[in-house]
């Protein structure tokens, strides 16, 4: 297999290439590929559907079922990468563990990838083994134990599959009449055969934020906190910096450091928190660049993707600061689109200090994120106004039809 040779980087598509293989080829993976190519890495994008965003910019691409261990192994053996970077949760993690045992470098580790795709294991590790502060929660694998857990925690409660991503299968049971439908939604949205769900107290939070945590050879670094708004478990708006007191920031940094140290490995981790009555509560964690961290494309000299590459290649990670307050807003379609096209781009880019990322996804389903507006300003409130105005200018047109598709 190829190697980073202690910071020695080769030439793409040559015999000495340093190859990065990405398992998952969405919009975050696309930014990883672009950052990797600035360092002269050869990039291989693997995805579950053809023409995925990262595939459009990588040197090579493969379309496979990434939950099929044999298919993952075949691609890894063929690409012979220096680094394997899981970019999504739905991956054959047992095969990754075996490949790691054989000498392949899985980012951050195969264990971290396995633990964080399972809400049960990561919550147990964070709350019970590490001891960070969380809201009340319980797990259930039958309707009977689920009803008992909801009765104990009370409504409103958030119900999620233990294994899913991007809000799939997540809903809120606001009262006893919604308990059964929330159970069905979670079971249908699960990515595993166990059908286990997590029941969480609906935290009446003042705000929620992500602390992008960089584990590297010289220790742990943090990006300034990124505030965000989610709907049905999926990010809609983010901004950086997010205002915290010095004590709140120190508390969040301590929890993030302890949990990511326990997971091990190098790279960036998206650690999510709630802020409730001045108290910081751990929520979730992703062992990879985070969707809310798209704000770093405007706010920081080195984006979260640049920092991720530096950390996993054992390159220097400098002091991280916000150069200019930044906000992002997702472009989301409200109905299926077979062949997307975009109008209003000129108007969207006429908003001061605003840029766009249109992800190039070949088709869309209702609720799918198709792009993001990124704006800077002297303060985050102005930046948020700018991205809202920018996104409002864009219509997604289905070129198989004549009328625009509603967006939000």
Inter-residue contact 367 to 334 (CB < 8 Å): yes
- Written as one string, the DSSP assignment of 159-224 is EEESS--TTTT-EEE-SGGGHHHHHHHHHHT-SSSS--EEEEE----SEEEEEEEEEETTEEEEPP
- For residues 131, 305, 381, 386, the Cα torsion angle rounded to the nearest 10 degrees is -150
Catalytic (active site) residue 272: yes
The pair of three-digit structure tokens given for residue 33, joined into one six-digit string: 């590929």
Instruction: Return phi, psi of residue 188, to 5°.
Output: -70, -30
Catalytic one among 43, 109, 113, 165? 165
Catalytic (active site) residue 291: yes
Catalytic one among 69, 167, 195, 367? 167
Catalytic (active site) residue 167: yes
Catalytic one among 226, 292, 296, 299? 292
Catalytic one among 95, 284, 306, 389? 284
Q: Can you tell me the distance from the alpha carbon of 339 to that of 78, in angstroms, rounded to the nearest whole number? A: 32
Residue 130: enclosing H or E segment and its boundaries?
A: none
Cβ count within 10 A of residue 177? 9
SS3 content of the chain, % helix, strand, coil (to 5): 35, 30, 40
Q: Can you tell me the distance from the alpha carbon of 280 to that of 266, in angstroms, rounded to the nearest whole number? A: 25
Catalytic one among 369, 380, 384, 386? 369
Catalytic (active site) residue 292: yes
Instruction: Return phi, psi of residue 200, to 5°.
Output: -120, 140
Catalytic (active site) residue 369: yes
Catalytic one among 120, 200, 291, 389? 291
| CB neighbour list of residue 394: distance below 8 Å, 6 or more residues apart | 331, 342, 343, 344, 345, 348, 371, 407
Catalytic residues: 165, 167, 272, 284, 291-292, 369
């Amino acid at each position: 297999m190829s190697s980073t040779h202690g910071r020695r980087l080769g030439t793409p598509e040559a015999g000495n290439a340093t190859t990065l293989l990405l398992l998952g080829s969405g919009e975050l993976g696309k930014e990883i590929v672009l950052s990797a190519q600035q360092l002269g890495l050869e990039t291989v994008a693997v995805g579950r559907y053809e023409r995925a965003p990262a595939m459009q910019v990588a040197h090579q691409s493969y379309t496979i079922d990434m939950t099929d261990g044999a298919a993952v192994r075949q691609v890894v053996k063929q690409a012979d990468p220096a680094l394997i970077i899981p970019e999504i949760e739905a991956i054959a993690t047992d095969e990754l563990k075996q490949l790691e045992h054989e000498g392949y470098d899985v980012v951050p580790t195969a264990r971290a990838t396995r633990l964080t795709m399972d809400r049960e294991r990561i919550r147990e590790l964070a709350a019970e083994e590490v001891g960070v502060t969380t809201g009340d929660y319980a797990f259930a694998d039958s309707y009977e134990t689920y009803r008992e857990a909801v009765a104990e925690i009370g409504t409103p409660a958030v119900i999620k599959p233990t294994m899913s991503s991007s809000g799939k299968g997540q809903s809120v049971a606001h009262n006893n009449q919604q308990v059964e439908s929330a159970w069905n939604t979670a079971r249908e949205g699960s990515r595993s055969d166990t059908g286990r769900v997590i029941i969480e107290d609906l935290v009446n939070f003042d705000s929620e934020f992500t602390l992008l945590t960089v584990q590297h050879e010289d220790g742990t670094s943090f990006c300034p906190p990124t505030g965000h708004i989610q709907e049905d478990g999926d990010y809609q708006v983010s901004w950086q910096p997010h205002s915290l007191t010095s004590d709140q920031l120190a508390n969040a940094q301590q929890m993030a450091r302890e949990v990511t140290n326990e997971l091990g490995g190098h790279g960036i981790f998206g650690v999510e928190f709630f802020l409730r009555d001045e108290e910081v509560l751990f929520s979730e964690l992703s062992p990879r660049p985070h969707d809310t961290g798209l704000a770093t494309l405007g706010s920081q000299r080195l984006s979260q993707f640049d920092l991720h590459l530096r950390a996993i290649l054992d390159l220097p990670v400098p002091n991280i600061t916000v150069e200019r307050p930044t906000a992002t807003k997702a472009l989301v379609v409200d109905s299926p689109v077979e062949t997307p096209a975009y109008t209003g781009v000129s108007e969207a880019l006429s908003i001061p200090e605003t840029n766009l990322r249109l992800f190039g996804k070949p088709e869309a389903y209702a609720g799918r994120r198709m792009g993001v507006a990124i704006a800077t300003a002297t303060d985050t409130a102005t930046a948020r106004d700018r991205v809202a105005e920018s996104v409002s200018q864009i219509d997604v047109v289905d070129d198989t039809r004549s009328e625009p598709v509603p967006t939000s």
